[in-house]
A and B are shown apart, each in its own frame.
Chain A
Amino acid sequence: MTAQVGITGSPNSEPGSGRAAGAEANPSGDAELARRARGGDRAAFSEVYLRYAPVVHGVLVAHAPWREVPDLVQDVFVLALRAIGALDEPERLGPWLIAIARNRARDHLKRRRPEVQHEAELERAPMPSPRAPDDTDGDDDPAAAAILAAVQALPESYRETLALRLVEGLSGPEIAARTGLTHGSVRVNLHRGFRLLRERLEQREGRRTS
């Protein structure tokens, strides 16, 4: 395991990535749970896993090849367990885990794309889509694979929010609570992201029929 883990949640730099303050980023009991886990209470960490595995999964689905996501979810929680002693803001447990998931996905994609040479450049660049829109990545449902590829090709904050809503089935308020984004940002990400997704799918459909 060689991925580097960011200790503090890193906010998105794209439009619609506003962070929530205080309670919105701290769904019921998260901060207390994080404090207990930080103090070495492994039952508390187990509860963190149960609570956040779908969220981490959704973020990874937005960025990484779907076949590799279950293993990456495990990686993220191994990294989180190692680093939780240094978690500065227990009330921002969700954003912290999401930052680890993003870093892990980025690290994974970097290894898959050795031709991308400049590390600093890669860190600054938006997360690349793991595959071309028409690549089904071995999925036996090409229509679903095409929709997922279109989600993965959206700007980073749109793709994560949409993956949490359309793949994981979370509601807007749940996404806000778990990610630390404001309700307004989640609404914007969902609205603009879905509109962009629909346009791209229509364009793709148009290309196929013309």
Chain B
Amino acid sequence: MSDDYLWDPSSPPDPEVERLERALARYRYTPDAGAPRWQRTPRALRPWLVAGGLAAALVLAAVWLARAGEPAAYRIEGLPERRSIAVGEELELAPGASANLRIGTLGDLSVAGGSRLRVEAIGAEEHRLYLERGRVEARIAALPRVFQIGTPAGRAVDLGCAYVLEVDESGAARVRVTEGQIEFAFDGREVYVPANAVCRSDPRSGPSWPEFERKGGPLDDFLAVARGEKELTGKVEPATMVAELLAECSSEDTLTLWHVFADERVEGWLRDLVLERLRREFPLPRGVDAAGLAARDAAQLRAWRDSMRPAWYVRRG
């Protein structure tokens, strides 16, 4: 074994060290955290795999039979007439009432009066609820994606956080994250909402671009243009006016700007200007280039977004 190569990989390679390096390279860091390169590729079924699968199915069936008489349920606190809610059951609170659901060991969910809530799944790897209307406040400490609340306007996927989710009579949802981060998913689109940001979602068109709460400013003017609500007129070229607005946007505004850039419904020239603005603040990480972003390469988009995420953990108060 050569210590030289172990110390300095630019030295002549040592075959033994190189062999282990090659084997372990599959675990190496990649900016594309969403799709690790060690992800399994489909392959033909092998006999031992089939046998193992059958054995596992038998064990699962036995466990299921053993537990069949005891359906999983959340404990309800604050409602004298009801102590628990199980999978498939609904909870409807009268206006003015309130209750607290204990989500196993993961945390709890405060349910406000007038809410209608259903439990869809309870398990070690999945806790799924559906809020048809009303307001809930979740405080969850779980592995990312284990806890989810569906609404008529999309699904709030917990990434380790606390948040308030409201659904009105029309089915429109509003989520405000108070700690950590969530993802809001609707019809193949995903929106990332960190602490102190808000996202609204419509049952027909899905989630808005998330934004930090603020009072006016250049971002509002830009968003009005991007949504087609405001037409730019005057002696100055529209692109120049937009570029000036973007230059005045703050670092916090980049959360919204990123989602504008990622949204293919936005006109290309606007997205190009947003790209320029974002690149001034966030250098492209290793493995990400302008061509990949222009080609909407999902892995590169995600990698660049992930490199911005720490900048979106905004402190308040």
Q: Could you list which residues of chain A lie within 8 angstroms of chain B, going by C-beta atoms?
A: 1-2, 40, 42-43, 45-50, 53-54, 57-58, 61, 66, 68-71, 73-75, 77-78, 81-82, 139-141, 143-144, 147-148, 151, 165-169, 171-173, 186-187, 190-191, 194-195, 197-198
Closest chain A CB from B99 CB (angstroms): 24
8 Å CB contact of A187 from B3, B33, B181: B3
Measured in the bound complex, the distance between the Cα atoms of B127 and A86 in whole Å is 36
**B180 adjacent to A42 (CB under 8 Å):** no
CB-CB under 8 A from A53, the residues of chain B are 29, 31
State A73–B32 Cα separation when bound (angstroms).
12
B247 shortest CB reach to chain A, Å: 15
**Min CB–CB distance B43 → chain A (angstroms):** 7
A57 touches B29 (CB 8 A): yes
In the complex, residue of chain B having the shortest beta-carbon distance to the beta carbon of A147: B23
* Interface membership of B97, Cβ < 8 A: no
Residues of B contacting A47 in the complex (Cβ-Cβ under 8 angstroms): 283
CB of B269 within 8 Å of the partner chain: no
Residues of A within 8 A of B241 (CB): none
What does the 1/0 interface line of B1-13 toward A look like (CB < 8 Å)? Answer: 1010011111000
Expressed in whole angstroms, the Cα–Cα distance for A78 and B309 within the complex equals 9
Provide the residues of chain B in CB contact with A190, threshold 8 Å: 3, 6-7
Contact of B311 with A194 in the complex, beta carbons under 8 Å: no
Residues of the A chain whose Cβ atoms lie less than 8 Å from the Cβ of B283: 47, 50
Closest partner residue, chain B, to A77 (CB atom): B310
Report how far A50 CA is from B28 CA in the complex, Å: 15
Q: A40-B315, A78-B313 are in contact. Are A140 and B40 (CB under 8 A)?
A: yes
Instruction: Tell me the bound Cα distance from A49 to B315 in angstroms.
Output: 17
| Complex interface: chain B residues within 8 A of A172 (CB) | 6-8
Binds A, one of B14-22, B64-72, B80-88, B203-211: B14-22
Q: Are A166 and B24 in contact (CB under 8 A)?
A: yes
A73 to B20, CA, bound (A): 24
Given A148-B24, A167-B25, A187-B7, the answer on whether A43 and B143 have CB atoms closer than 8 Å is no
List residues of chain B with CB under 8 Å of any chain A CB: 1, 3, 6-10, 16-17, 20-21, 23-29, 31, 33, 36, 38, 40-41, 43, 141, 143-144, 159-161, 179-181, 251, 281-283, 285, 307-315
Bound-state CA distance A78–B306 (Å) is 12
In the assembled complex, which residues on chain B have CB atoms less than 8 Å from the CB atom of A48? Answer: 310
- 24 A-B contacts (beta carbon < 8 Å): A42-B251, A42-B311, A43-B251, A43-B281, A46-B282, A47-B283, A48-B310, A49-B310, A50-B283, A70-B33, A73-B29, A73-B33, A77-B309, A144-B27, A147-B23, A148-B24, A166-B17, A171-B7, A172-B6, A173-B7, A186-B7, A190-B3, A191-B6, A194-B17
What residues of chain A lie closer than 8 Å to B307, measured between beta carbons? 46, 49-50
Q: Contacts A1-B160, A46-B307; is A167 near B41 (CB within 8 Å)?
A: no
Residues of B within 8 A of A54 (CB): 28-29
Min CB gap B291→A, angstroms: 20
CB <8 Å contact, A167 and B180: no
**Bound: A199/B161 CA distance, A:** 44
A43-B251, A50-B307 known; A78+B180 contact, CB < 8 A: yes
For B311, what are the chain A residues with a Cβ–Cβ distance below 8 Å? Answer: 42-43, 45-46
Tell me which of A53, A82, A147 has the highest count of chain B C-beta atoms within 10 A of its own C-beta.
A53
Min C-beta distance of A120 to chain B, whole Å: 22
User: Which 5 A-B residue pairings sit nearest by Cβ, starting from the closest?
Assistant: A57-B29, A172-B7, A42-B311, A70-B33, A54-B29
A167 in contact with B144 given A42-B311, A73-B33 (CB within 8 Å): no
A173 and B181 CA atoms in complex are apart in Å by: 36
Are A66 and B38 neighbours in the complex by a CB distance under 8 Å?
A: yes
| B23→A81 contact, CB < 8 A | no
- Taking a contact as CB atoms closer than 8 A, the residue among B9, B16, B43, B160 that contacts A171 in the complex is B9
Q: Report A-chain residues with C-beta under 8 Å of the C-beta of B281.
A: 43
Q: Point out the residues of chain A lying under 8 angstroms from B43, CB to CB.
A: 140
**Contact partners of A2 in chain B: CB under 8 A:** 141
Write the chain A residue with the least CB distance to B7: A172
List B contacts of A77 (CB < 8 A).
309-310
Which residue of chain B has the shortest Cβ distance to A3 in the bound complex? B141
B313 cross-chain contacts in A, Cβ below 8 A = 42, 78, 81-82
Q: Which of B9, B24, B310 contacts A167 (CB 8 A)?
A: B24
B258 to chain A, nearest CB (A): 12
| Known contacts A2-B141, A78-B180, A46 near B310 by CB under 8 Å | yes
Complex-state Cα separation, A66 to B82, whole angstroms: 43
Min CB gap A107→B, angstroms: 11
- Of the candidates B3, B21, B141, B310, the one whose C-beta lies within 8 Å of that of A166 is B21
Known: A166-B21, A194-B6. A139 touches B38 (CB 8 A): yes
Asked if B26 and A141 sit within 8 Å, CB to CB, the answer is yes
